[in-house]
Structure 1
Amino acid sequence: MSDTSAYHTLPLPDDLAPAAAQPKRRRARWPWVVLIVVVVLAALAVTAELVARAVVPNIVRSVVVDSMDLPADQQLDVQTYGLLVPQLIAGRFGRLDLSSDSVELGGITGAVDVMATGVPLGGGDIGHASGTVTIPEDQFAALVKKADLPIEKIAFDAPDVTASGSVPVLGMSLPVSLTVTPGADAGELLLTPVSATLGGIDLDLAQLADRLGGIGSGLAETHRICIADQLPAGITLTGLKIVGDTAVADVAVDGRIGTDRTLQENGTCP
């Protein structure tokens, strides 16, 4: 019988030896922390934007109503564009649209739509502003009262206007009507005659001058009407056309109108 004590156990090669127990790795938590922070910040940004969209239009309305001396209950809608929070941080709105179904400006009442860009949040000059004022026939008639025309009645016939009245001829009063095309130039309202009717007879402008002499020649001329005294000095008439049963006036707004009180008061005519 062999002596087993003479045998010794040899160590196993390294590649066959059992691996030593490795400590368990703890999963990194920072990606989850970052994700949570991002979600929270996004939620705050969304909340801030929603709050801004609810508050800003009311603030803008209050500022406009106060600066233009409009009634406290003046209906005025404000439309904003783009993300408001970055604009609030920058202190300037990229674009604001203001609209009202009925606003009185210098004795003229009409629907107003204004587009303004570069509007400073803390007050100051506006980058650019323009818009339209839409008025009915009776308000348009009030604008042309100062015209040297025998106007007793105004009727719209787009794109023209018919002004009716009467003129003295040989001691008689003859009904006359002028069809004029309205427009604007250098802030003034233009009435350009295109045809006429005298005593129910259709005439061209040359015939009108022949029949009525100097009176007819005066009626056939383009009439310029200053309306600066009926509008705030910071608002200038740049165009006018008849659309359906309304007159649509294009206006340019001086960017300083919000800070210069003189531009909020009616202008003057020579």
Structure 2
Amino acid sequence: MRELVLIGIGTGNPDHLTLQGAEAIRSADLILVPRKGADKADLADLRRDICARVLGGDDARIVEFDLPKRDAGGDYLEGVEAWHDAIACAWVAAAGREVQRVALLVWGDPALYDSSLRIAARLSPPPRITVVPGITALQALCAAHAIPLNEIGAPFLVTTGRRLREEGWPDCADTLVVMLDGGCAFQTLDPEGITIWWGAYLGMDAGVTVSGPLSEAGPRIVETRAAARARHGWIMDIYLLRRASGG
């Protein structure tokens, strides 16, 4: 491939696609759609639906491929490196040889907690990389709760559930946005003075939100999250924590 276009498509609402993103889809020679297993088939369906809206039902340029699975055993970083190598190989195999411009539809935005750019750097020979920004889960969360992301003139930190669980609340900010948390790491915090805003399937018809003081909302989130995951077979969620200044 001569050019790889990474198109941010938002968090599940086809209307999140920007005009720039739509034009990038129309101009692509090939559009790669990852399959993540039967329990996440609706994610591939959503990408196909977006393409159908833009291309008027012409799906001749769409190629699906099976996304390799990450080995959860052993060293975390080594496992991620091997996984990214496998994904890069899957992209090349799916694209074939006689393709100029290949597009990938990236959930949210390619620059925020997504590895598409790091995987693209492994391609050889390296293609030209074009990035079309998209609406992030962080933006969708704040919009769903109608809250500002930051306090006036104050910083915020975006982190992961694993880091929150292992390192606790960092001293550099009173507002945290937590992504990639499969274990509800907020349960490890002293809830005094902390408010939480949580959301899952943001932008989709299945979207659900919970908010309130962490001591009260935390148990409701754990219960709601477990029920939603059991119902859909998968879940993507995010939450914002804010503690009283100086907490």
Q: Same fold (TM over 0.5)?
A: no
Report the TM-score, using the length of structure 1 for normalisation. Answer: 0.23
Q: Which structure carries more strand by proportion?
A: 1
> Looking at both structures, which has the greater relative contact order when contacts are Cα pairs under 8 Å and sequence separation is at least 6?
2
Question: What TM-score does the superposition give when structure 2 sets the normalisation length?
Answer: 0.24
**Which is helix-richer, 1 or 2?**
2
Instruction: Give 1 or 2 for the bigger CA radius of gyration.
Output: 1
